[in-house]
Chain A
Amino acid sequence: MQKPFAIALDVGTSLANLTGSWRTERPVYVDLLPPCNHACPAGENIQAWLYHAEEGDYESAWRKLMESNPLPAVHGRVCYRPCETACNRGQLDQTVSIHAIERFLGDEALKRGWTIEPGAPTGKHVLVIGAGPSGLSAAYHLRRLGHEVTVHDAGPLAGGMMRFGIPKYRLPRDILDGEIARIVGMGVTVKLDSPVTDIPEQMKKGGFDAAFVAVGAHLAKRTDIPAREAGKIVDAVSLLRGMETGAEPPKLGRRVVIYGGGNTALDAARTAKRLGASEALVVYRRTQEQMPAHDVELEEALDEGVILHWLRTIKQIDGTTFTVEKMKIDENGWPQPTGEYEELEADTLILALGQSVDTSFMKTIPGVEIADDGVIDVDETMMTGYRGLFAGGDMVPAERTVTVAVGHGKKAALNIDAYLRGEQRELPEKHPAADFERLNTWYYTDADKTVQPTLDLIRRRTTFDEIHGGLDETNALFEARRCLSCGNCFECDNCYGFCPDNAVIKLGPGRRFEFNYDFCKGCGLCAAECPCGAIVMEPETF
């Protein structure tokens, strides 16, 4: 076309005008640390596996999850869900039911027989002592890294407190067995009924290049209560353990008093109920709010008819009669005796005052330090004072949960791997937190949390059947899609669509976006309208 000069122009010629020079701030894509990930003691990248689950790609989701945690079906049931406590969605409506999706994925994997391949053999051999969650986790991760692993456990079955502590109604054993079997199936040698007493000796004998010890905390703490005539007293750990090993369920009588305020106390009380006790009374020194037991469990226990008697200490036992003193909380939050007493009647007293670590076989190892409260000191790589000996789980100073134990197992495995290669483990850089304030929550559709089905109360009070049901596919998908993907691009196309200057290049599904700084004027719309806060504006430097 013979266009007239200047008044008629060729189309698209403004591409010669690089408006990027107008910019004083530049948008930058970031991956922030979602609060759930930050809170997960097992180090799961929850947001990342939810991303796959949102698409209905459960296997990829599961595999992403398995990069950190080998026991999703277990965690989906027993983890205390610090991730959900942290979940930003809680500030919007209700938290994402992460555990329920995790459980769905774990169960799905068991149902479909998904497995994880071990890594290429390294020729190194690691000894793991204790087949609780921590030991199993270490074994799993070490196998993934290609190391040979032999696990020794003192008990008759693997699982540690997951089996001998946590009752069936919260963690059915076929689930536990399935997840353990999958780890064993990766080529882990498990030696049961074989307690290790001399670790250095064992390492030398077996030609192990390193060892990870996680024997847990099994020794029930006791307290001295003056007893004129001692009634029936059992400790909670033994009771629960007995549930797994003993052929005959223990006879507790009609009325049971449980002394303590932790999860163990509640599990003991709920077990007592299921064993036929008409009254299970938890006596606790402080207030209900101060109980270390988790809220969900307390609530469930109360539902099942467990009675709570807080601000009480047991002063004296006289057969089936218990004298308790009322307590009050002083200004520092400590319980103080009031001098007021009352009496209770009970057939059995279950002590649930916590557990301590059996450190006897560790004391002798050169370099190993025992901390004041009877736990083993480790450095930031989980290594004890004895080179090549790492420790984790309940026996080291930390919160005592399955999840922390698994996290220790993973961390120790990674450090053992580095140790075996004679290297220092490189820590991935910590991303800044994806705080709620960084989100543009307008874009998330309103969606209430999915509620898991729960067994009816009669059956909860009388059987050891699992209380909570899992989510079905649709529910799980729905729930996964409630995730806000805090701080991590989920390809909503907002930046791509809202840029007035077409300065966002879409790279295609799964490949996210790129800024075209030739044209970006730095208006900040992309950052403002990014739902998940994955774009930050930085001062321009040119």
Chain B
Amino acid sequence: MLKQIEGSFAVAEAIALCRPEVICAYPITPQTHIVERLSELVRTGDVGNCQYINVESEFAALSVAIGASAAGARAYTATSSQGLLFMAEAVYNASGLGLPIVMTIGNRAIGAPINIWNDHSDSMALRDAGWIQLYAETNQDAVDLHIQAFRLAEQLSVPVMVCEDGFILTHACEQVDMPDSEQVDSYLPPFEPVQVLDPAEPITMGAMVGPEAFTEVRYLAHHKHLRAIEVIPELSTEFEHIFGRNTGGLIEPYRSEDAETVIVALGSVVGTIKDVVDEMRDEGVSLGAVKVVSFRPFPLLALREALQNAKRVIVVEKCLADGLGGIVVGSVRMSLRGTSTPVYTIIAGLGGRAITKKSLRRAFNEAVADRLEDPHFLDLDWKVIDHELARSQEKRRSGPIAENILRELGLVGGKPV
């Protein structure tokens, strides 16, 4: 059923259709609308037999989910940014214990400086925490990926993060084709845990494992992700059968087969990139794009295949590894191992800076001309940087950088001293 709906609400309603038994949440922008709506849905009885727990921290939120999942309940939580980092220890723990929790990440930058706007620093910080990470381009994606996420998680006993861009998706009102409960029920069977805390059949969960078996334990986790590479497309196909939509999968190529230059990206920016591709194609530039849906596990082979005809690859990503450059690009390069295809990195949209078509076009053109520096910081204000670097060179106690920049930009009064 098509519905004009805010992204967060769409996701909340999709979660409700998945009949989680325990939802726990701690508020943080931009995740708030999801959990607010869910609290309502639980109270109105729309989620069925579900316990909604308002916890005192994200650490507790995921811990509650861990306990719930270990006791055999379908468990869900959502967070963003600082919240994800605050629960970091539990993030690893959930995957280490093989608990199929689904968590929405409303992607947001990490402070300091504190910033509520979108980028991918949060989920990227925990990209190797053993969770599967699926990135949504649209709110339709977000809805569909959540439903697939529960199937995937429970089939493999591995937790899944569904990442959607804060504000850009969470707070955007768009048309979403909302599934109905029959569809979801036929796609998502009740949770059958492989291990459960049950007095009738007691087990010990979370043992201490030393060097004698730790590598094997870790390998088995790796193996699960390798399995996920196979399972994700299968689930996507099955999803299409029931819901009539082709969403999910590992990657989604867009006009890339014959493109000389292929842009790789994840999340909502892919939409903008597709527009730019269309425009530039019209102008005769051989451009295509590949959307990475599953960032963890990273679809090395699928991507390699998708990029095999490309002469160059550009990775657009909303995160930064200081001193190195991109994060996503590392994985992309790995998928191109042994080829000589040049790969460019564009760092864009940090802390919510708008990624405009215009800026993208400019950068893409530079890349196509093989003139783009790597990494390239989209729309970086060099004037500010140069001035600030010079100033701090002069004076050791030069004051807070962020504030100085704001002054420099004239956004707050007075010039920096």
Contact with A along B205-221 (1 / 0, CB 8 A): 11101000110110010
Task: Tell me whether B203 and A7 are in contact (CB under 8 A).
Answer: no
Task: Tell me whether B217 and A1 are in contact (CB under 8 A).
Answer: no
Q: Is A10 an interface residue (CB 8 A)?
A: yes
Q: Is B157 an interface residue (CB 8 A)?
A: yes
Contact partner of B220 (CB less than 8 A), chosen from A4, A9, A10, is A4
Q: Is B340 an interface residue (CB 8 A)?
A: no
Within 8 A of B (CB), among A1-27: 1-11
| CA distance in complex: A6, B214 (Å) | 8
Closest to B206 in A: A7
B197, chain A: closest CB distance, angstroms: 10
Q: Which of B204, B207, B213 has the most CB of A within 10 A?
A: B204
Contacts of A11 in B (CB 8 A): 202-204
Interface band, chain B: 20 to 34
| CA distance in complex: A7, B205 (Å) | 6
| CA distance in complex: A6, B157 (Å) | 15
A1-B203, A3-B203 known; A8 vs B217 contact (CB < 8 Å):
no
Q: Which of A5, A7, A10, A11 has the most CB of B within 10 A?
A: A7
Q: Is B87 an interface residue (CB 8 A)?
A: no
Task: Tell me whether A4 and B157 are in contact (CB under 8 A).
Answer: yes
Contacts of B201 in A (CB 8 A): 1
A1-B203, A11-B204 known; A6 vs B195 contact (CB < 8 Å):
no
| CA distance in complex: A10, B194 (Å) | 14
- Interface of chain A: mostly helix, strand, loop or mixed: loop
Within 8 A of B (CB), among A275-315: none
Task: Tell me whether B220 and A8 are in contact (CB under 8 A).
Answer: no
Interface band, chain A: 10 to 19
Q: Is B126 an interface residue (CB 8 A)?
A: no
Task: Tell me whether B204 and A4 are in contact (CB under 8 A).
Answer: no
Task: Tell me whether A7 and B196 are in contact (CB under 8 A).
Answer: no
A9-B207, A10-B203 known; A4 vs B213 contact (CB < 8 Å):
no
Contacts of B216 in A (CB 8 A): 5-6
Q: Is B96 an interface residue (CB 8 A)?
A: yes
Contacts of B217 in A (CB 8 A): 5-7
Contacts of A8 in B (CB 8 A): 195, 203-207
| CA distance in complex: A5, B223 (Å) | 13
Contacts of A4 in B (CB 8 A): 97-98, 157, 194-195, 220
| CA distance in complex: A4, B216 (Å) | 11
Task: Tell me whether B204 and A9 are in contact (CB under 8 A).
Answer: yes
Task: Tell me whether A2 and B194 are in contact (CB under 8 A).
Answer: yes
| CA distance in complex: A384, B213 (Å) | 80
| CA distance in complex: A9, B220 (Å) | 16
Task: Tell me whether A1 and B195 are in contact (CB under 8 A).
Answer: yes
Task: Tell me whether B206 and A1 are in contact (CB under 8 A).
Answer: no
| CA distance in complex: A2, B203 (Å) | 11
| CA distance in complex: A11, B201 (Å) | 9
A1-B194, A1-B196 known; A6 vs B207 contact (CB < 8 Å):
yes
B353, chain A: closest CB distance, angstroms: 42
Closest to A3 in B: B195
Q: Which of A1, A2, A6, A9 has the most CB of B within 10 A?
A: A6
| CA distance in complex: A3, B70 (Å) | 12
Contacts of A6 in B (CB 8 A): 207, 209, 213-214, 216-217
A434, chain B: closest CB distance, angstroms: 44
Task: Tell me whether A9 and B203 are in contact (CB under 8 A).
Answer: yes
Closest to B98 in A: A4
A79, chain B: closest CB distance, angstroms: 60
Closest to A11 in B: B202
Q: Which of B202, B207, B214 has the most CB of A within 10 A?
A: B207
B153, chain A: closest CB distance, angstroms: 14
A1-B194, A1-B196, A2-B195 known; A7 vs B202 contact (CB < 8 Å):
no
Task: Tell me whether B96 and A7 are in contact (CB under 8 A).
Answer: yes
Task: Tell me whether A10 and B207 are in contact (CB under 8 A).
Answer: no
Contacts of A10 in B (CB 8 A): 203-204
Closest to B198 in A: A1
| CA distance in complex: A11, B98 (Å) | 19
Closest to B221 in A: A4
Closest to A7 in B: B207
| CA distance in complex: A359, B196 (Å) | 92
Closest to A10 in B: B203
| CA distance in complex: A2, B196 (Å) | 10
Closest to B70 in A: A8
Contacts of A5 in B (CB 8 A): 213, 216-217, 220
| CA distance in complex: A393, B252 (Å) | 113
B233, chain A: closest CB distance, angstroms: 25
| CA distance in complex: A5, B157 (Å) | 13
A326, chain B: closest CB distance, angstroms: 87
Interface residues of A (CB under 8 A from B): 1-11
Task: Known A-B contacts: A6-B207, A9-B203, A10-B203. Give 7 more (CB < 8 A).
Answer: A2-B195, A3-B203, A4-B98, A5-B217, A5-B220, A7-B205, A10-B204
Please provide the 9 A-B residue pairs with the shortest distance between their CB atoms, ordered closest to farther. A9-B204, A6-B213, A2-B194, A6-B209, A4-B98, A11-B202, A9-B207, A6-B217, A8-B205
Please name 30 pairs of A and B residues whose Cβ atoms are closer than 8 Å in the assembled complex, sorted by A.
A1-B194, A1-B195, A1-B203, A2-B194, A2-B195, A4-B97, A4-B98, A4-B157, A4-B194, A4-B195, A4-B220, A5-B213, A6-B207, A6-B209, A6-B213, A6-B217, A7-B96, A7-B98, A7-B207, A7-B209, A7-B217, A8-B203, A8-B204, A8-B207, A9-B204, A9-B207, A10-B203, A10-B204, A11-B202, A11-B203
